Amino acid sequence: MRPSPARLLNILVPVKRAVDYAVKIRVNAQQTGVDLNVKHSMNPFDEIAVEEAVRIRERLSKEGSEPVTITALTIGPAKSVETLRTALAMGADSAIHVEIPESAPAPEPLGVAKTIRAIVEKQKEKEAVDMVILGKQAIDDDLGQTGQMLAGLLGWGQATYASKVELDLEKKNAVVTREIDGGSEQVRVKFPMIVTTDLRLNEPRYASLPNIMKAKKKPVMKMSPADLNVSLEPQIETLKVTEPPKRVGGAKVESVDELVEKLKAAGFTAV
């Protein structure tokens, strides 16, 4: 029998609780943000990140190189634990909840990246993290920075906008196909590394009822930013949040003739 790799593969997956993607959001009356009394769920890109971690384990266990450990992590108020339970039900082994008060402002990518770095550094004492898989962006702030910032802070290689991840455990690297402007590219990144997910990386599974039940028993470790010696104080000041200008659409035409007339009247003729 071939000796299995000396060490486990440790994957850390940060996930964010966000307003559900199907909710039509509303700016609040004070113009300080949006009404958050709506359905929340895991940021869709993070679901893809959890799914990828689970698939990596499934692929490797077929090759006999088990086990892979998957730790989900979130930074957020008490309710964010729901998001961790979802990750656990999808297949994460354990979770870390860095809890902040309900009233605290939303952490910024740099603060989040520093928090994740602190956890990566803590993990080093027992099982060093080989790979952090994050979503390419959160659909609420749409900033798209956390993975890259974390890679910068740790000095690790990064593969953003991944649509395919192939591991080579022996060589301790991964070949990642990335979606770039105008096409795609392949890069080989050494462990430890950062991956950020694009939508086409995979199709996340639904957690089954038995797995949801099992997830309730999986360990969730609570920490505070202070335990990790990080500050989540925002550096970007939000002055106000407003409604975008409304479009007055809704005008229908009865026929193709009318449609083409409107096009021509607006100057859109054949070239």
Partner 1 sequence: RPLLSRNYASASSPHALIFLEHRQGVIDSGSLSALTAASQLGGQVTGLVVGSSEHVPTVVDKVKKLKGLTSLLHSTSDLYSQQLPETLAPLLQKLLSGSEYTHVVSTPTSLAKSLLPRVAAILDVPAVSEITSLEHDSSSNSTTFTRPIYAGNAISTVRLPSSVPIKFFTVRATNFDPAPSEESQEIDVKAVDPVDVQDCPTEHISTQLAKSDRPDLSVAGRVVSGGRPLKNAETFAATLNPLADILGAAVGASRAAVDAGYADNSLQVGQTGKVVAPELYMAIGISGAIQHLAGMKDSKMIVAVNKDPDAPIFQVADVGLVADLYEAVPQIIEKLKQ
Ligand X SMILES: Cc1cc2nc3c(=O)[nH]c(=O)nc-3n(C[C@H](O)[C@H](O)[C@H](O)COP(=O)(O)OP(=O)(O)OC[C@H]3O[C@@H](n4cnc5c(N)ncnc54)[C@H](O)[C@@H]3O)c2cc1C
206 lies in the site for ligand X, by CB under 6 A = no
Q: Which of residues 41-100 bind partner 1 (CB under 8 A)?
A: none
* Cβ atoms 221, 96 nearer than 8 A: yes
Q: Which of residues 133-152 bind partner 1 (CB under 8 A)?
A: 136-137, 139-146, 148-152
Q: Which of residues 89-108 bind partner 1 (CB under 8 A)?
A: 108
44 lies in the site for ligand X, by CB under 6 A = yes
3-state secondary structure of 259: helix
Q: Which of residues 163-202 bind ligand X (CB under 6 A)?
A: 199
The rounded distance, in Å, linking the Cα atoms of 250 and 137 is 31
| Nearest-approach distance from CB 159 to ligand X, in angstroms | 19
Name the nearest CA neighbour of 69 among 91, 47, 96. Answer: 91
CB atoms within 10 A of CB 191: 19
Residues with Cβ < 8 Å from 260, sequence gap 6 or more?
Answer: none
21 lies in the site for ligand X, by CB under 6 A = yes
- Residue whose CB is less far from partner 1, 101 or 155: 155
| Nearest-approach distance from CB 169 to partner 1, in angstroms | 17
Name the nearest CA neighbour of 34 among 17, 19, 15, 44. Answer: 19
Which of 8, 169, 187, 212 binds partner 1 (CB under 8 A)? It is 187
| Nearest-approach distance from CB 166 to partner 1, in angstroms | 11
* DSSP type of residue 39: -
| Nearest-approach distance from CB 178 to partner 1, in angstroms | 8
- Residue whose CB is less far from partner 1, 221 or 253: 253
Which of 23, 128, 139, 187 binds ligand X (CB under 6 A)? It is 139
The rounded distance, in Å, linking the Cα atoms of 243 and 79 is 27
Name the nearest CA neighbour of 10 among 95, 67, 84. Answer: 67
The rounded distance, in Å, linking the Cα atoms of 235 and 21 is 27
Per CB under 8 A, the segment of 53-61, 76-84, 121-129, 159-167 that binds partner 1 is 159-167
Count residues near ligand X (CB under 6 A): 4
Amino acid, single-letter form, for residue 125:
E
Residues contributing to the site for ligand X (CB under 6 A):
21, 44, 139, 199
